Amino acid sequence: MSMLKIGVLASGRGSNFQSIIDEIESQHLDAEIVLLITDNPSAFAIERAKKHGVHYLIMRPKEFHSKDEFFIKTAEELKERHVELVVLAGFMRIVRKPLIDAFPNRIMNIHPALLPAFPGLHGQRQALEYGAKISGCTVHFVDEGMDTGPIIIQAAVPIFQDDTEETLSERILKYEHKIYPEAIRLFSEERIEVKGRMVSIKGDTFSEAFIVNPAIKKNPE
């Protein structure tokens, strides 16, 4: 099985980008990030790419005639480098049809909520305002909807009564960094099957698809 070629799209600090780099460099993930594309010339993800020798491109949407044209060019750049899986790591744009059609069921995203609950921006804040007792994060394939694609892996974390958006976000982020590389690993091993919106994992054990953390304590001893 050849090494999986990954293209990453990021707009900001790129902490999930870093978690994938770390798993690759520790040889826990048999993959190579061949390109980072960012729409933000100030993104800290660029510094991470420089530090780890990842080639990067800055593509400003305003320099294109339309949103579709931006994503057509994005797909061309990824295909030119033989990318097999596209990973969104804090990419703050809705992916449009030209890129989705170029990589069907080969674009992953991570969302800081247990989808289908609380899609869109500020999933952590939505969960707190709703009064939810459990939140978490979801890795899913990208379709043309807002966080509506087939779900691959989820992790659940508790919400404490005195949580703020910041404390909950920090708790969820730790599990984002665990399940995103895991979803990519399953893809690299050709263990993911998609039928409609249902995802099955070959040789699945329950923990590979859903991580539940009811024993998390706010102040562990």
* Residues catalogued as catalytic: 111
**What CA–CA distance (Å, rounded) separates 196 from 199?**
8
**What CA–CA distance (Å, rounded) separates 179 from 158?**
17
C-alpha distances in Å from residue 33, one per residue of 5, 19, 23, 98, 215: 6, 12, 11, 22, 35
- Closest C-alpha among 176, 202, 137 to residue 16: 176
Backbone angles phi, psi at 25, to 5 degrees: -70, -25
Contact indicator for 88, 109 with CB cutoff of 8 Å: yes
Q: Which helix (H) or strand (E) element contains residue 47? A: helix 45-51
- Give how far the C-alpha of residue 103 lies from the chain's centroid of Cα atoms, to the nearest Å: 15
**What CA–CA distance (Å, rounded) separates 130 from 132?**
6
Q: Which helix (H) or strand (E) element contains residue 123? A: helix 123-130
